[in-house]
Every structure is written in structure tokens, then in C-alpha cells.
A = this chain, B = another copy of it.
Amino acid sequence: MQAIDEAGLANTTILRIANRANVSAGIISHYFGGKEGLLEATMRQVLGDLGQEVARRRAAAGGSPRAQLRAIIDGNFDRNQVSRAVMKTWLAFWASSMHRGNLQRLQQVNDRRLYSNLCFQFRRCLPRDEARDAARGLAALIDGLWLRGALASETLDAERARRLAYDYLDGRLARTECLA
């Protein structure tokens, strides 16, 4: 991820990674099954970290839909996740996952998990179709904030991103009376 941050995935060679990790070039192919394998392993790591962070915050949060949804938002804008290196890596994954079956599967599992988690919570206070739209919208908003954060030259303002997502959430929940 540091190498991707420095030079971009296209310019990240096995040798560069090996130098940064203080190992020989050969050992990477040996343990990860080539560059492709290393990429997949890295993606699994990042997705796993994100999932854990979300789960942790959800467990610590209250049981109300709003609290759970806020926990999901918070987890997605966690400090660890929002470093430049991770954001760039994520974007590189997004781009390359469209042309590699293994990465695409990982990507879609993650996407669907976010969507269905959101949808489940919204369903607790909204009718079905409205809950789906709310989940789709919030998922897109989260990804969009990430994307714009990665592209902007400044660091992503995680605080502001969370607030914008909260606002969206409140707007959606305010339409119907929600029990907290």
C-alpha cells in the first residue's frame, strides 16, 4: 500500500515492493503466487479491517436503527481506513477489480454487505421500497465521500464526511416517525 501510495499501482513493481519490505524480489512470488496474488491478499486485508471496524462499532453502539446506522457510518470513516495510502489502494482496487474475477468477487461481497446492513436497519423504521432507496443512497454517499476524499489533494476531512452522512441519515429517518 505504501508503494501504491508513492507511485500508483501501474508503477508499482515487485522489486519496489521488495525493497520497501527489505526482502528479495523472488520471495514475494514464492509466498503470494505472484503480483496478482499479493494484490488479492492486500485487498482481503483491507476489506477485513473495514469489516472488523464496523462490527466493533456496531457492537458498542445502541440497538436503535439510528445508532446502528451511525455506527456503520463511523466504521467506514475510521481513522485507520482514511489514510492516503489506504484510500489510493482502495481506488486502485476499484479500478482493477473490474477486469479480474477474483478481485471483483471480493469487491462485490463487500458492496453487498454494506448495502444489506444498511437496508436491514432502515427496514426497521421504513417501508420496504423506501428502505431500499435509503440504503442505496447512503451507500452511494459513503462511497462518493471516500472517492472525493481520495481524489482531493487535501486529506479527507473525516469529521465532515461523517456529518454529511449523518445529515442524509437524519433526512431519511425524519420522513417517517422513527422510534429513536
Contacts and interface: CB of A to CB of B under 8 A. Distances in A.
Interface of A: 7-11, 88, 91-92, 94-100, 104, 107-108, 111, 133, 136-137, 139-145, 147-148, 150-153, 160, 163-164, 167-168, 171-172
Contact of A140 (B99, B133, B145, B171): B145
A7 B139 CA distance: 28
B141 A97 contact: no
A161 B43 CA distance: 28
A99 B7 contact: yes
B88 A151 contact: no
Contacts of A91: 94-95, 98
A151 B98 contact: yes
Of the listed residues A104, A111, A151, A164, the one surrounded by the most CB atoms of chain B closer than 10 A to its CB is A151
A50 B102 CA distance: 32
A78 to B, nearest CB: 18
A156 to B, nearest CB: 11
Contact of A95 (B9, B143, B167): B9
Nearest to A98: B88
Contacts of A136: 160, 164
A153 B151 CA distance: 24
